Each structure stands twice: as structure tokens, then as C-alpha cells.
Amino acid sequence: MLIDKTLSQFLDELASNSPAPGGGSVAALAGAAGAALASMVCNLTIGKKKYAEVQDELKAVLDQTELLRKELTQLIDKDTEAFNSVMAAFGLPKATEQEQAARATAIQEATKAATLVPLSVMQTCEKALLHAKTVAQKGNKNSASDAGVAALMLQAGCAGAALNVRINLGGLNDPSFVEQVARESAEIAQKVERTTREVMSEVEKSFGGK
């Protein structure tokens, strides 16, 4: 599994002449790193006297960011698996009309599945970003830059996943599926842009005049 490779090995495989892992898995990794940084700021806040008032709230946030981090970590491998299934469908025999029809159906099904993985990355990044906002507002001010990087990674993860949703939708011939997923993707992208701006403005406040 990709998540059992070292950073160094993962980057080597990414750069290689194999299309997988590619941008989809990187988007999920960015999201997972963003969620992990949000968890870190929670952990650096909980138990500190100065932040006693927000302790319970950040404990609840931590439970959520850890859950979302695990989901995003799993999506690193799921994206590459879904891509490989699309490739396998393209590799099916196409000698007879029957084989051609079965292959076409398999490609459509695998591409739909491969579209839903980055859509899931987008949904999960959006949820984690709302928690990153709470973390930026209420978490340890010494970790303001970490809360900011958390938001930047969740934003980039979401935007990267959106490109993968889009390239997959281009290969589908089910207009109602395409329309529905495109609409949801656009809605999430818009919300994520807005929330990221809000987090960055909180980070700015924590920096003060610096």
C-alpha cells in the first residue's frame, strides 16, 4: 500500500513514468496532512491553562479531525486503486461486438467509481476545513502558522481532487450523473474557497502586527 511506503519512496514512485500514483492520491495526501496539522494544533492547545476555556470544544474537534485524517489517508490508496480499475477496464478484450459492449460498460462503471473517490476527498477536505477554522480561532496562538498551513493543504487537496473529478466526468456518458457530480463539486469548491479565506483572516489576527 502507498501509505506504507516512505515519503522518499512515495515521491520516487510519483515522479516515475507510471501514471499511478498521480494527482488524485497527492490531493488525498494533502488533505490528510491538513487534517493532521489541525489535530496537532488541538493537541498543542488541550491541557494548557491559558486555553482551559476551549478545552472541551477542541477535544471534540480533535475527535473529528482524527476521523477525517483517517478517511483522507485511506483515500490516498483508494484513488490509485480506482485509477488502476479504469486502466484494467480499458485493457479488456474488444474482438467481438459482445466484448466491445462489455468493455464499454466496464469502463463507464470504473470511471464512475474513480470519480466518486476524488469527490469524497473534496467532501472530507471541506469538513476538515470547518474544523481548521475553529482551530485557527480558538487554538494555541503559537501554532497559528500551522493552522494556516492546515487550511492551505485542505484547500489544495480539495482543488486537486476537483481536477480529478472533472477529468473523469469527461469520459462519462450518463448526463444526470455528470450534472449531479459537477454541481456538487462546484458547490464544495466555492464553500472551500470562502472558508479558506476566513481561516487565513483568523491566522492574520493571531499574527497581530507581525
**Where on the chain is the footprint of its own copies (CB under 8 A)?**
2-8, 10-12, 14-19, 22-24, 26-27, 29-30, 32-33, 35-37, 39-40, 43-44, 46, 65-66, 69, 73, 76, 142-146, 148-150, 152-153, 155-156, 159-160, 163-164, 166-167, 169-170, 203, 207, 210
CA-based nearest residue to 141, from 202, 60, 195, 66: 202
Grid coordinates of 150: 492546515
Q: Which is nearer to its own copies, 101 or 183 (CB)?
A: 183
- Nearest approach, Cβ of residue 97 and its own copies (Å): 27
**Distance from C-alpha of 96 to C-alpha of 105, rounded to nearest angstrom:** 14
Q: Which is nearer to its own copies, 35 or 130 (CB)?
A: 35
Please report how many Cα atoms fall inside a 13 Å half-sphere around the Cα of residue 204, on the Cβ side: 6
Contact, 132 vs 38, CB < 8 A? yes
What is residue 94's DSSP assignment? -
- Nearest approach, Cβ of residue 98 and its own copies (Å): 28
Q: Which is nearer to its own copies, 39 or 124 (CB)?
A: 39
- Nearest approach, Cβ of residue 151 and its own copies (Å): 9
| Cα-based distances in Å from 165 to 123, 168, 181 | 12, 5, 8
Q: Which is nearer to its own copies, 46 or 188 (CB)?
A: 46
